[in-house]
Structures are given as C-alpha cells and as structure tokens.
C-alpha cells in the first residue's frame, strides 16, 4: 500500500521534529548566530542610540538572512549522508512534495525560533516600536521564501563534501531581491511611506516559489544522485 500525500508529510514532519527535539541545543543555533551579529554590529557601530536605531531593521534582516544561510547546510546533508535521500528518490510519493514538507519543517525549527527572538534583538538595537510590525510581517513572508530558494541551492550542492563558500555564492543572487524588498518595506514604513507594495511583492515571490522551488530542488536532487 502506498502512503498518501498527507500521511507521508505527517510521517516526515514527525521524524524531522523528533530528530530536532533530541538535539534541542542545535535548534537555538540560528537565533544565537543572529544575536552574535546584532551584538557585534552594536559594538562596531559604537553603541550610539540614534545610529543603531536608524540601521536596526536592515541589520536584523541581514542577521536573519545570514543565520538562514548558515542553517542551509543541514537541510539535506544528514539525509544524504545516512542514505535516507535515496529512499526519498525511490519513494512512491512525489519528490517535490517531500522537499516542500522538509523545507516547512526546516523553517519551523530554524526560522521560527529566530522570528520569536527578533523583537528581543530589536530592543537591543533600539528598533523604533512603530517599525516592529512591518519588520515582523516582512520576515514572516521573507523567511519561507529564503528557505525555498535556499533549498534549491542546498539541493544543488548536496553531493559535495565541502560546499562552504559555494553555497553562499549560489544563494546570494537569489537572496538579494528578497533582502531588497524585505528591508525596503521596513525602510519605506520608517519614512512614513506605504510598505504595502514591497510586502505584496514578497508575498507574490513566496507564492511563486512555493510552486516552483520544490520542483527545481527536486530536479537538483535527482541530478546530484543521478
């Protein structure tokens, strides 16, 4: 009997979450990394209140993006090493579906804790309160988009032992538009302009990536495993 889409998704998600739960400390890594970026930026900028507040939203976006880039490696690596990925390829369930579920699980365990930490990090950088809702909304739309684009990159480099800087080089051009519109929406709100346009573009990008990125990532996984 072949498992249905929903059953396979539930099984995969439960497995991913259980694995993360067994190593709870790892789940905090992205948030810790973002905290480091924020602290280092504050120290490098001299801790002046106005200067920090002016750049707070951009730095937070950057910290989230870099933390996501760092977490990309764990997206398929474990499964490629222990052979689960071959089972994915052989499974009677469509591969893009499994990829989409995995990206969702990955977002739940790496980006969501980070998003919860953002208001706190914002306080550290004296982020103006009025900007917080727009920042959170843009991150809520932006982080899944980053995860989906990153999945394509992670799938392309899954066969390599030392992907390192290549992952960053491949992800950068795909991440730039997201960063521009994400940080742009907050910047627009800070100037009293309408942030809606940038947010709608982010949402449109997310909708397109939800459909296309799993397909591309699945194709890349097939290439990597012939």
Partner 1 sequence: MNPVLRWFHQLGSPPYFDRFAARWAPWCYGLGALAMAWGVYGALFQVPADYQQGDSFRILYIHVPCAWMSMAVFALMAVYAAIALVWRIKLCEILAMACAPAGAAFTVATLATGSIWGKPMWGTWWDWDPRLTTELILLFLYLGVIGLYHAIDDRRQAARAAGLLAVVGIVLLPVIHYSVTWWNSLHQGQTISLFGESKMDPSMLPPLWWMVLGTHVWFVGSLLARARADNLRREAGKDWAAQAAGAAS
Footprint on this chain of partner 1 (rule: CB under 8 A) = 152, 156-157, 159-160, 163, 166, 169-170, 172-174, 176-177, 180, 216, 219-220, 223-224, 226
Would you put residue 126 in left (φ > 0), alpha (ψ -120 to 50) or beta?
A: left
- Residue entry with tokens 């309408």: 194
The two tokens of residue 154 are 């992670």
**For residues 141 and 170, which CB has a smaller minimum distance to partner 1 in the complex?**
170
Cα distance between residue 143 and residue 162, in whole Å: 25
Cα distance between residue 154 and residue 148, in whole Å: 10
**For residues 101 and 213, which CB has a smaller minimum distance to partner 1 in the complex?**
213
**For residues 12 and 154, which CB has a smaller minimum distance to partner 1 in the complex?**
154
Instruction: Report the candidate in 136, 106, 141 with the shortest Cα–Cα distance to residue 121.
Output: 136
Cα distance between residue 140 and residue 171, in whole Å: 19
**Smallest gap from residue 162 Cβ to partner 1 (A):** 9
**Smallest gap from residue 26 Cβ to partner 1 (A):** 26
**For residues 78 and 197, which CB has a smaller minimum distance to partner 1 in the complex?**
197
Q: Which residues contact 167 (CB under 8 A, 6 or more apart)?
A: 69, 72, 73, 153, 154, 157
**For residues 75 and 118, which CB has a smaller minimum distance to partner 1 in the complex?**
75
Cα distance between residue 64 and residue 105, in whole Å: 17
Instruction: Report the candidate in 2, 124, 146 with the shortest Cα–Cα distance to residue 55.
Output: 124
**For residues 94 and 159, which CB has a smaller minimum distance to partner 1 in the complex?**
159
b or e along 85-108 (b: 16 or more beta carbons within 10 Å of the residue's beta carbon)?
beebeeeebebbbbbbbbbbbbbe
- Residue entry with tokens 């400390």: 25
**Smallest gap from residue 20 Cβ to partner 1 (A):** 28
């Amino acid at each position: 009997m072949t498992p249905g889409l929903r059953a396979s998704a539930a099984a995969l998600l439960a497995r991913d979450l259980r694995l993360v739960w067994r190593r709870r400390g790892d789940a905090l890594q992205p948030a810790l990394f973002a905290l480091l970026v924020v602290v280092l930026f504050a120290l490098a900028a001299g801790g002046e209140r106005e200067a920090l507040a002016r750049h707070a939203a951009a730095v937070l976006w950057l910290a989230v993006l870099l933390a996501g880039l760092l977490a990309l490696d764990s997206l398929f690596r474990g499964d490629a090493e222990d052979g689960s990925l071959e089972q994915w390829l052989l499974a009677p369930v469509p591969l893009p579906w499994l990829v989409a579920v995995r990206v969702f699980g990955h977002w739940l365990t790496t980006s969501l804790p980070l998003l919860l930490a953002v208001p706190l990090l914002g306080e550290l950088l004296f982020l103006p309160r009025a900007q917080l809702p727009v920042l959170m909304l843009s991150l809520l739309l932006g982080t899944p988009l980053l995860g989906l684009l990153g999945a394509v990159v992670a799938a392309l480099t899954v066969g390599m032992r030392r992907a390192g800087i290549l992952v960053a080089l491949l992800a950068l051009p795909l991440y730039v538009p997201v960063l521009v519109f994400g940080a742009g929406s907050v910047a627009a709100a800070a100037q009293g302009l309408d942030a809606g346009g940038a947010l709608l573009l982010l949402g449109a990008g997310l909708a397109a990536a939800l459909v296309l990125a799993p397909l591309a990532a699945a194709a890349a996984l097939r290439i990597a495993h012939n």
